[in-house]
Amino acid sequence: MGAIFDILIYQPFSWILLMLYRVTSSYGMALILFQLVIKVITLPLSIKGKRGMMQQTLLQPRLKELEAQFKGDKQKYQAAMSELYQKEGVNPMSGCLWSLIPMPIFFMVFAIVRQPLTYLMGLKGPEGAAQIAKLVEAFNLESGADIFYQEMQLASLMFQNQDVAIRAVPELFNATFINFHFLGLDLSMRPEVAFHPLIIIPILSAASAYLMGWCTNKFNGTKVEGKGKTMQMLMPLMSLWFGFIMPAGMGVYWIATAAFRSFRNTT
């Protein structure tokens, strides 16, 4: 199963991100364009999800009539509701199912971003693990550390010292070395709760998530009250938390995601 995912998902998307980096020579810009490419690829799924949600919204008045008609008889209400859905050709789960699609994509992007040696430089499998171990030794890094964050550190050091990397692993001679600096920020690092320029990434991530929710409610005419307000703040808080535990590059991707979604919801 892992091999299938690698061939059908990780390899193609890794190649797209790498090509965008080669074209733009900017890791941050490549991540932003990468999010745009994913939006285009998943557009048909988004349309299906919205269509399903709209169909369910249109059926709400009739569902309320059925609820009033079969009040106290849950079994008959369920049967009548199923008959209505079948008659109108509506799948009650369609909107929810399609809306869950972005989450696996997010984890796929997270894997590609935090493992640039594996996905962007092709150091995979047992041979790749041995090559990464050689690079850890060549750059005097601590072995046994967080392997995912270590890949980010290594990839950043390798760009600055390409001759050292090639001496340790000659197969990297034709590899594309990644420059993680974008607008003066090192996107290979994790932001810290301190007076450091990278702290702007989690803050912008939280702000963009709040803006996305606000735009969605505003242009859908949804009035947020009670528990809805609490839920509206949940996503920005989660975005803030993710911004601190992930490499800053992932925060840039998250900001781009929210920005494009906010723009889509206003047009």
Prediction pTM value: 0.79
How much of the chain is helix, strand and coil, in % rounded to 5? Answer: 75, 0, 20
Structure tokens at 105: 């994509």
pLDDT computed for residue 20 by the predictor:
95
Phi, psi of 228 (to 5 degrees): -60, -35
Between residues 10 and 31, the one the model is more confident about: 31
pLDDT computed for residue 98 by the predictor:
56
Q: Is the pLDDT of residue 265 over 60?
A: no
pLDDT computed for residue 247 by the predictor:
87
pLDDT computed for residue 27 by the predictor:
94
pLDDT computed for residue 145 by the predictor:
60
pLDDT computed for residue 264 by the predictor:
58
Phi, psi of 127 (to 5 degrees): -65, -40
> 67-120 pLDDT, tens per residue?
777 777 777 777 777 777 777 777 666 655 556 666 778 788 888 888 899 999
Cα–Cα distance for residue pair 32/21, rounded to 1 Å: 10
Q: Is the pLDDT of residue 236 over 80?
A: yes
pLDDT computed for residue 127 by the predictor:
92
Taking the CB of residue 174, how many other CB atoms lie within 10 A of it?
6
Question: How large a percentage of the chain has pLDDT more than 70?
Answer: 81
Phi, psi of 242 (to 5 degrees): -60, -35
Contacts for 252 with CB less than 8 Å, ≥ 6 apart: 28, 31, 32, 182, 187, 201
Q: Is the pLDDT of residue 135 over 80?
A: yes
Cα–Cα distance for residue pair 32/189, rounded to 1 Å: 18
Q: Is the pLDDT of residue 59 over 90?
A: no
